[in-house]
């Protein structure tokens, strides 16, 4: 399936993705309502946009005590049915990437639904860090492969303290 | 193969679905004591608060059992005969099994207080309880909540928001010992006071009497008698194992299971609130009466009943809810003691309180009380607790490290 992929090396931290996502849902520019979040660490000059990866085995879906999360037949996106959602927040605790947020007005959880198959954040990303592509092309496998290749060449081990260059 | 599942909630249903993923042909019978529909206990407070309508309590379609090719029997199991590989139901029916799953869950208990058997004294545990409570759950009614655990406090919180006159009696020095730490409890207690709910800690209830007009009078040590219209008892739950008294299945407080969810008897498995099984902290037998644990255990049990041999990586307690307008979430071992060290990422004054507890550099637990947006941080922490990863950088950079890992394309997090 196609998902929104994220390349942090070209993300400039403009947050267009957050604002456009919020606008397309709520007609407002409230970052808190966005289904995509730019995690910004200025002291290390590092930012990464993170949004739902629509996992093959979504823990949020399995654990939801209201059976409110399901996979969309057309887009394959993992979606929250906000009519069924109790707002218990179990999904927020379940997602290992922290991709689910809370709508304090409607008292339900919210997450990316790929805008029905035409994601808005990708359209507004000014650097091209966000793409809508097949998950096999997702950035992590690309970078992992490249990373490992470079490490092999340089003869380095796998260090937790890898700096970003 | 003849498969029998006793239990119709999180563990039983999770096991059924896992079983059917691998085996679509074996005969499956599911015995349910309460209902012939699948409902979620977690949703009951949201019905009383008006957030969800009654039909939303049911979490599977009406044709669920036929879709799952499962025979549902609404009955009580009174005995297991391991020799004959049969279970005996209350109506004397016997059902044969090749593989049996006991997912009978737990039931709310009543503390030994005199007079706690009067009418208008309820638990907040089943759909039936909620139907009984509903007519009294109106603005202006006076309610006493015994206990300040998750269930009781959630009910008290909902009652307060619905305009009831709420008093809580807690035996211990502070609220929610299983779910929050001292600073977290303080934050919630402040919100309780602000909302008008009356909290009494260190309070031992001694007696309940009934006046002719139906009012309940509650006596407690060192307190004036309290008059209320109804009482909700939320002082804990106990695994449903009474029917195993003559059985060979080894029990402690619950049914002892190994990493494969197997009991001491071959062919018999247990999962959910009734099971006492492995935790991620390498304890062998603990009861975590939590929905996510029940789902995980059921998944392993169901797969193994179909012939697989999966190991459960162990339960990692995780819980979250909103109480009196503030969100509280906790995971793992979040109480600081002299064996571990806590690191506070966010002080209480701003959007709330976020703390992670480490043992020699390995995160073992966390707690968040405040804004709901703190909850995902504990979600991100969960895989690190499971993997027992020691951090080799300053603790302040924990979440930055997690995001760096995502950025570097680490497949470990997936």
Contact A97 B413 (CB under 8 A): yes
Mutation site for A-interface testing, chosen from B297, B356, B376, B378 by largest number of A Cβ within 10 Å: B376
Closest listed residue to residue B250, CA positions, set B6, B258, A59, A128? B258
Contact A48 B406 (CB under 8 A): yes
Contact residues on chain B for A8, CB-CB shorter than 8 A: 407
Banded pLDDT at B46 (limits 50, 70, 90):
very high
Summarised one tens digit per residue, pLDDT across range B248-266 is 999 999 999 999 999 999 9
Contact residues on chain A for B411, CB-CB shorter than 8 A: 140-141, 144
Chain A: residue whose CA lies nearest to B386: A96
Strand order in the sheet with B230-233: B121-122, B230-233, B142-146, B165-169, B198-200
Q: Give the global pTM.
A: 0.92
Inside any domain, residue A41: no
- The predicted pLDDT at position B374 comes to 95
* Closest CA–CA distance from residue B202 to any residue of chain A (Å): 29
DSSP state letter for B58: B
Contact B320 A89 (CB under 8 A): yes
Whole-angstrom distance, CA of residue A66 vs CA of residue A88: 9
Question: Which 3 state secondary structure label does DSSP give A95?
Answer: coil
* Closest CA–CA distance from residue A111 to any residue of chain B (Å): 12
Contact B414 A143 (CB under 8 A): no
* Closest CA–CA distance from residue A116 to any residue of chain B (Å): 24
Q: Is there a contact between B44 and B306 (Cβ–Cβ < 8 Å)?
A: no
* Closest CA–CA distance from residue A105 to any residue of chain B (Å): 12
Mean predicted confidence (pLDDT) in B348-372: 92
- The H or E element spanning position A69 is strand A69-71
Summarised one tens digit per residue, pLDDT across range B147-173 is 999 999 999 999 999 999 999 999 999
- The predicted pLDDT at position B409 comes to 58
- The predicted pLDDT at position A118 comes to 95
- The H or E element spanning position B359 is strand B352-359
- The predicted pLDDT at position A28 comes to 92
Residue B12 gets the label, from left (phi > 0), alpha (psi -120 to 50) or beta, of: alpha
Mean predicted confidence (pLDDT) in A136-153: 73
Mean predicted confidence (pLDDT) in B286-297: 97
Q: Is there a contact between A61 and A121 (Cβ–Cβ < 8 Å)?
A: no
Whole-angstrom distance, CA of residue B129 vs CA of residue B295: 23
Residue showing tokens 């407690």? B220
Closest listed residue to residue A15, CA positions, set A37, A32, A33, A35? A37
Q: State what percent of residues in chain B have pLDDT above 70.
A: 98
- The predicted pLDDT at position A150 comes to 83
- The predicted pLDDT at position A147 comes to 80
Contact B379 A161 (CB under 8 A): no
- Interface check for B412 against chain A (CB to CB < 8 A): the answer is no
Among B42, B331, B383, the residue with its CB nearest the CB of A65 is B42
Q: Is there a contact between A70 and A61 (Cβ–Cβ < 8 Å)?
A: yes
Strand order in the sheet with B326-332: B318-323, B326-332, B362-370, B352-359, B341-346
- Interface check for B360 against chain A (CB to CB < 8 A): the answer is no
Q: Which of residues 287-306 of B touch A (CB under 8 A)?
A: 291-292, 295, 299
Mean predicted confidence (pLDDT) in A16-30: 95
Summarised one tens digit per residue, pLDDT across range A59-115 is 999 999 999 999 999 999 999 999 999 999 999 999 999 999 999 999 999 999 999
Whole-angstrom distance, CA of residue B375 vs CA of residue B386: 17
Contact A143 B408 (CB under 8 A): yes
* Closest CA–CA distance from residue B316 to any residue of chain A (Å): 11
Inside any domain, residue A60: yes
- The predicted pLDDT at position B411 comes to 44
Angle at the Cα of B204 from the Cα atoms of B202 and B210, rounded to 5 degrees: 140
Whole-angstrom distance, CA of residue B402 vs CA of residue B301: 32
Range of the structural domain that residue A93 is part of: 54-99
- Interface check for B362 against chain A (CB to CB < 8 A): the answer is no
Inside any domain, residue A94: yes
Inside any domain, residue A3: no
Contact residues on chain A for B321, CB-CB shorter than 8 A: 88-89
Mean predicted confidence (pLDDT) in B82-111: 96
Residue B299, pLDDT > 90, answer: yes
Contact B372 A102 (CB under 8 A): yes
Contact residues on chain A for B331, CB-CB shorter than 8 A: 93
Task: Reduce the secondary structure of B169-231 to three states and give it as a string.
Answer: ECCCCCCCCCCCCHHHHHHHHHHHHHHCCEEECCCCEEEEEECCCCCEEEEECCCCCEEECEE
Lowest mean pLDDT among B281-285, B309-313, B396-400: B396-400
DSSP state letter for B37: S
Summarised one tens digit per residue, pLDDT across range B171-223 is 999 999 889 999 999 999 999 999 999 999 999 999 999 999 999 999 999 99
- The predicted pLDDT at position A161 comes to 47
* Closest CA–CA distance from residue A117 to any residue of chain B (Å): 23
Contact A86 B375 (CB under 8 A): no
- The predicted pLDDT at position A141 comes to 60
Closest listed residue to residue B318, CA positions, set B295, B347, B351? B295
Banded pLDDT at B389 (limits 50, 70, 90):
confident
CATH of the domain at A69: 3.30.70.20
Contact A101 B10 (CB under 8 A): no
Mutation site for B-interface testing, chosen from A63, A69, A95 by largest number of B Cβ within 10 Å: A63
- Interface check for B60 against chain A (CB to CB < 8 A): the answer is yes
Whole-angstrom distance, CA of residue B210 vs CA of residue B215: 6
Q: CA distances (Å), A84 to each of A107, B13, B239, in order?
A: 12, 19, 29
Contact A65 B291 (CB under 8 A): yes
Contact residues on chain B for A65, CB-CB shorter than 8 A: 10, 40-43, 59, 291
Domains: count for chain A: 1
Average pLDDT, chain B: 94
Residue B414, pLDDT > 90, answer: no
- The predicted pLDDT at position A138 comes to 66
Contact A144 B411 (CB under 8 A): yes
């Amino acid at each position: 399936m196609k998902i929104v992929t994220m390349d942090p090396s070209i993300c400039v931290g403009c947050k267009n993705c957050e604002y456009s996502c919020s606008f397309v849902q709520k007609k407002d520019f409230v970052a808190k309502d966005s289904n995509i979040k730019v995690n910004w660490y200025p002291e290390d000059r590092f930012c990464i946009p993170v949004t739902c990866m629509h996992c093959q085995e979504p823990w949020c879906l399995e654990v939801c005590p209201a059976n409110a999360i399901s996979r969309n037949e057309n887009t394959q996106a993992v979606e929250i049915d906000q009519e069924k959602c109790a707002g218990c927040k179990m999904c927020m605790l379940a997602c290992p990437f922290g991709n689910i947020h809370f709508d304090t007005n409607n008292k339900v959880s919210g997450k990316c639904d790929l805008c029905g198959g035409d994601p808005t954040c990708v359209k507004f990303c000014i650097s091209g860090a966000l793409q809508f592509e097949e998950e096999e092309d997702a950035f992590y496998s690309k970078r992992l492969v490249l990373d490992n290749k470079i490490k092999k060449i340089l003869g380095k081990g796998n260090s937790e303290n890898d700096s970003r260059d | 193969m003849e498969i029998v599942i006793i239990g119709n909630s999180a563990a039983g249903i999770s096991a059924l679905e896992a079983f059917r993923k691998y085996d679509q042909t074996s005969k499956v019978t599911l015995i349910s004591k309460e209902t012939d529909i699948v409902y979620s206990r977690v949703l009951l407070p949201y019905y009383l608060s008006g957030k969800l309508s009654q039909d939303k309590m049911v979490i599977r379609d009406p044709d669920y059992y036929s879709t799952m090719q499962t025979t549902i029997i609404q009955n009580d199991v009174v005995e297991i005969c391991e020799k004959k590989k049969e279970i005996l139901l209350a109506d004397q029916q016997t059902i044969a099994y090749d593989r049996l799953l006991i997912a009978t869950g737990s039931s709310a208990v009543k503390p030994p207080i005199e007079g706690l058997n009067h009418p208008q004294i309820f638990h907040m545990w089943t759909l039936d309880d909620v139907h009984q409570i509903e007519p009294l759950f109106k603005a202006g009614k006076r309610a006493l909540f015994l206990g300040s655990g998750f269930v009781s406090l959630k009910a008290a919180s909902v009652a307060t928001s619905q305009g009831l006159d709420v008093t809580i009696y807690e035996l211990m020095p502070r609220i929610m010992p299983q779910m929050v730490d001292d600073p977290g409890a303080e934050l919630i207690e402040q919100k309780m006071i602000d909302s008008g709910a009356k909290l009494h800690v260190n309070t031992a209830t001694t007696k309940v009497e009934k006046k002719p007009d139906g009012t309940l009078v509650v006596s407690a040590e060192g307190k004036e008698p309290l008059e209320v219209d109804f009482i909700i008892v939320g002082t804990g739950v106990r695994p449903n194992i009474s029917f195993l008294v003559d059985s060979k299945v080894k029990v402690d407080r619950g049914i002892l299971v190994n990493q494969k969810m197997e009991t001491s008897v071959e062919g018999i498995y247990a999962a959910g609130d009734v099971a006492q099984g492995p935790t991620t902290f390498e304890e062998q037998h603990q009861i975590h009466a939590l929905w996510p644990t029940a789902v995980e255990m059921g998944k392993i049990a169901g797969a193994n009943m179909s012939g697989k041999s999966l190991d459960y990586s162990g339960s990692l307690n995780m819980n979250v809810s909103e109480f009196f307008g503030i969100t509280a979430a906790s995971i793992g071992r979040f109480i600081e003691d002299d064996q571990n060290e806590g690191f506070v990422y966010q002080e209480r004054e701003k959007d709330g309180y976020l703390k992670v507890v480490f043992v020699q550099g390995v995160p073992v637990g966390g707690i968040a009380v405040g804004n709901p947006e703190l909850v995902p941080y504990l979600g991100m922490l969960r895989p690190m607790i499971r993997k027992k990863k020691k951090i080799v950088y300053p603790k302040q950079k924990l979440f930055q490290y997690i995001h760096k890992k995502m950025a570097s394309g680490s497949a470990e997090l997936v």
